[in-house]
Amino acid sequence: MNGDEQLLNGRVYGAEHDDPNPGPLPHRTYAALVGGPLDGLLLDIHGWRTEEVDDGVALSTELTRWPGGRALYDPHPGEPRTPGPGVTCRFYYSGDTP
C-alpha cells in the first residue's frame, strides 16, 4: 500500500483532506468502496432508500481516467447488507465516466 492509499483507507468520501477526524461517525451508515481510484474510502449512505443503494453511484474525483470525471461504484446483486449504523455494504468499482 503506497502513501496515497494509506491516506484514503478508512476515510469518508467527501471529507476535507485536512479534517482532523475524517473517519466514520458511529451513528451513520456507510458503504465501503472496493477497487478503483477510491478503494478504501467509505461512502456515507445514511438515510438512503434501498432503491438508491441498489442504483450505485458516480462519484466525482480527480483520480479517474478523465480528471474531474466520475468513478462508478455499484453493489453486487444479492450481496447481503447489515442493517443499522456502521459499514453495512460494499460498492465495487465498475469504471469511469467523463
- Tell me the whole-structure pTM to 2 decimals: 0.85
Give per-residue pLDDT as tens, 76-93.
988 989 888 899 999 999
Q: What pLDDT, on the 0 to 100 scale, is given for residue 20? A: 77
Q: Any alpha helices (H) in 1-98, and if so which ranges?
A: 3-8, 50-55
Here the contacts of 21-28 (C-beta below 8 Å, separation 24 or greater) are 24/86, 24/87, 26/85, 26/86, 27/85, 28/85
Grouped pLDDT means (10 residues each) for the chain, 98 residues: 46 82 87 95 94 94 88 93 90 96
Q: How far apart, in whole angstroms, are the C-alpha atoms of residue 92 and residue 73?
A: 5
